[in-house]
Structure 1
Amino acid sequence: MDRVIFHCDLNSFYASVELLSHPELRHLPVAVCGDPASRHGIILAKNEPAKVFQVKTAETIWQAKKKCPDLVLLPAHHGLYRDLSRKVNSLYEEYTDLVEPFGIDESWLDVTGTLHLFGGDPRALADRLRDEMRRRFGLTISVGASFNKVFAKLGSDYKKPDATTVITRENFRKIVWPLPVTDLLYVGRAAARTFQKFGIRTIGDLAAFDREQLFVLLGKNGAQLHDFASGEDRSPVAPAGQYTPPKSIGNGYTFPNDLQGREEIRAGIAQLADQVAVRLRRHSMKCQGVSLAIRDPNFRDISRQTRLDPPTDLARELAQAAAELADSCWNMASPVRALTVTAIYLISTEEAGAQLDLFSAGQDAKRQRLERLENTLDLIRAKYGPGAIAPASAPRDPAQERHAPPPGGGK
């Protein structure tokens, strides 16, 4: 049996909340901005009359006023928005315990197990939610109902404001596939540029494209986006506060210039291993294996993995293991376009501690010193930013530092 997933999107949320206190402005173009007294503020939200003038979120007040000289500007009240957002999600929880907030003004609801309690008709329940939202809070929502999260979100975007769109297995090709591919969840700028090069303009074009080729072009993200376009999203609705430990933690990077030689390749690996180690510690996890993926300038990929004993969250151990994988599978005279280092076979820090060899006390003391050192580095980054400190051999990120370019970047 198919799931029944709703995506509920509060229409023009910030502006709608402000207009609850200013009902006399409802028929006028209104925008909420960071600092109405400053010409340097930006637009945070706008109402429907303002959209008629093509006022856009994130543009400057000056740009918006140029389009709409009579635009009414209201200051933001973020505490009020957060409070109402919590109340709205409490309303959703009256219909299902599976509610996943997506930002402050959107939520997914899995009503598969409770739909029969409310009549069994997805469209009727969505309309009931919309009516209840207007009655309790004076706000409107657009609701998408579908058999997966991605299509439910497309449904809530399909018709606004205050509307219900139902996307089924029978009609999704008619509704979803003609939409621009950039409407699909998680299609970012880089993926959009790649799609444009290969003539992928609609979600239907993406679904028709060869999945294996997408994997070659964009890695796991390409295959996942193909699944999304084909209606194969199976991700669960995860209630807020419900923590699902990651199965793997990886970082990849396409370098501005190809890495050349063993020294530059190892430096790139060290940078990525350091980032992966930070994320492992943030999740209180250690890995029992590491995977390395290497891509050459012709987009050919090679991937290798190895087991680690004992489990680790130390950057230097991840980097050493990944570097040994590179030595074993890659001709160091060949250029490298991109690298990905992934921690695999993850277990909790507590479980890893229980696995330590009771007879390696001296080695364990050394590891504890290294762990304290890397935890100290985490504190420095938390206070001064991610670029404050890094392995000496690591390529420098121009967005975080003002000095040396990445390997190959200064040639």
Structure 2
Amino acid sequence: MERLKRFYPRNGRVILHVDMNSFYASVEIAHNPSLKGLPLAIAGQPEERKGIIVTCSYEARAFGIKTTMPVWQAKRLCPHLVILPPDFNKYRQASAYMFQLLREYTPLVEPVSIDEGYMDITESYSLGKPIDIARKIQDRLLQELKLPSSIGIAPNKFLAKMASNMQKPLGLTVLRKREVPSVLWPKPVIEMHGIGRKTADKLALMGISTIGDLAAIDNYSIRQQLGIRGVRLKEYANGEDRRKVDPKAAEEFKSVGQSMTLPKDETKQQELLKVLQQLADRTAARLKRKGVLGSTVTLTIRYKDWHTITRTKRLTKPVEQAAHIWAAAKALLLTHWNGNGVRLLGITVQDIVEREQADIQLDLFSYEEEAKKGALNELIDGIRQKHGEDIIHKGVHSHQKGRPKKGKRPDGQLE
């Protein structure tokens, strides 16, 4: 055992990032081996032209098929493409088996989505060298679950994530901090984990086109452009990441919400809808700060006699926008409120997933609409960040006949 311990750092950590390859498609192939080797795509509403590709096999990717591509376009690129509707119960079950297997090697497993997670194997040296443990995990996932994976091995979470992306499918990559200048710095900044197209465009305005450019920028300049997040991204670009693998982190992300105790027992529907709008705005702001989306909205109503009810609405796709959250909460209120005085309202968004991992099944119309709203939402978010979340509120339509009476907006205490 002591002989194996010398392959582990004295003071540092050994982190694995396990990333399943084309997870949904791979699960379907595991259940139906006749699909192996075929160009396969998972799509919402596959029977309709407006359906959207959620994920696809590597055989399908060879034809240029990508996530969020409309079905009609994918079929044009590959007429013999096999398209299946998503079966989320099947995928959740496979995910549970996957993480159960990972926990056989260490209790320090942090799921970050249905198909990927971090492992801290620093204290698992009795099981073998880090590369041997990673290879055993990869082999067992393939043999026992019939699911391919790529695994990154590194001294921290960021480098492990970058390493797992370097070889797909079935990659096994070690990335040491001393290799960052030669391996990561020449890459385009858009290839860095945590940087999307919008952030890359902002960095381009600063003359930053590679990860090395980001690593060299001064803290003041990057903070001016991206805030504290920019400083964190610069640290990652230098191979620095102090985040621990936290098994409880996923539990913290299971829900995001806000509640408000009203200044008086409220019986006016219009006033309650205004409160819901505020709660939806604040919940959406928290989702965006955390970089997550949710697909279940729960409304909490506490009456003046302290009787409390919770009602839940399952959405067709993960969301982060206040309008979607408010619409669901509004429907719940109009359906379940009994008309008595309300003391407290709360909105909670559950079934949380990271934005990058959210499999949003949009038809073409809603996809185009979301794109159109993007600029407006960015403008509103910028104003709220500068002047406070309450500076802008969207209008609330009354279901009562006539124009609603003027009155003061409830302004309660956040709980």
Fold shared, TM-score > 0.5 on shorter chain: yes
Gaps of 5+ in 2: 1-10, 258-277, 287-341, 351-379, 381-387, 398-415
Q: Is this contact kept in 2: 1:144–1:154, CA < 8 A?
A: yes
C-alpha separation in 1, matches of 2:349 and 2:391:
15
Is 1:86 matched up with 2:83?
no
Structure 1 Cα separation of the partners of residues 84 and 180 of structure 2:
39
Change in CA separation of 1:277 and 1:195 when aligned onto 2, cut-off 3 Å: closer
Query: Please, which runs of 5 or more residues in structure 1 have no aligned partner?
Result: 250-270, 280-371, 402-411
Higher relative contact order by CA 8 Å / sep ≥ 6: 1 or 2? 2
Instruction: Report the CA distance shift for 1:379/1:140 in structure 2 as closer, same or farther (over 3 A).
Output: closer
Partners of 2:173 and 2:80 lie apart in 1 by 34
Which of 120, 128, 135 does residue 110 from structure 1 map onto? 120
The change in CA–CA distance for 1:397 and 1:229 in structure 2 (over 3 A counts) is farther
Alignment RMSD: 3.3
Which residue matches 2:240? 232
Displacement after TM superposition at 1:190 (Å): 3.3
How far the C-alpha of 1:55 sits from its partner, in A, is 0.4
Task: State the alpha-carbon separation in 2 of the partners of residues 131 and 393 from structure 1.
Answer: 52
| 1:178 alignment counterpart | 186
Higher CA-based Rg? 1
Q: Is the 8 A contact 1:3 1:112 kept in 2?
A: yes
Instruction: Indicate which of 127, 131, 136 corresponds to 1:128.
Output: 136
Q: Distance in 1 between matches of 2:55 and 2:196?
A: 22
1:17 to 10, 27, 36: 27
Q: Is 1:275 the equivalent of 2:282?
A: yes
The answer to whether residue 392 in structure 2 is matched with residue 395 in structure 1 is yes
Match of 1:160 among 160, 168, 185: 168
TM-score, length-normalised on structure 1? 0.61
Superposition pairs of residues 10-409 of structure 1, within 5 angstroms: 10-114=20-124, 116-119=125-128, 121-240=129-248, 275=282, 375-376=344-345, 378-379=346-347, 394-396=391-393
> Structure 1 pair 66/233, CA: closer, same or farther in 2 (3 Å)?
same
**1:393 to 1:96, Cα distance in 2 relative to 1, 3 A:** closer
Distance 1:61 1:208, change over 3 A: same
Structure 1 counterpart of 2:66, one-letter code: K
Is the CA contact (8 Å cut-off) linking 2:110 and 2:249 kept in structure 1? no
Give the 3 Å change call, closer, same or farther, for CA 380–196 of structure 1 in structure 2.
Answer: closer
Amino acid at match of 1:83: Q
Question: Could you give the per-residue CA deviations for residues 273-310 of structure 1, whole angstroms, max 9, x where no partner exists?
Answer: x838996xxxxxxxxxxxxxxxxxxxxxxxxxxxxxxx
Residues 161-220 of structure 1, C-alpha deviation per residue, up to 9 Å, x if partnerless?
A: 001010002222222222221222222343211111122111111101112211122110
Partner of 2:374: none
Amino acid paired to 1:64 = A
SS of residue matched to 2:136? helix
How does the TM-score come out when normalised to structure 2?
0.60
CA distance change for structure 1 residues 394 and 203 in 2, over 3 Å: closer, same or farther? same
* Alpha carbons 1:99, 1:240 under 8 Å: kept: no
Sequence identity (%): 38
Deviations 1:30-62 (A, max 9, x none): 111122212221111111110101100111101
Alpha-carbon contact 1:31-1:74 (below 8 Å) kept: yes
User: Compared with structure 1, are the counterparts of its residues 31 and 395 closer, same or farther at alpha carbon in structure 2 (3 Å cutoff)?
Assistant: same
Rounded Cα–Cα distance in structure 1 between residues aligned with 2:349 and 2:122:
43
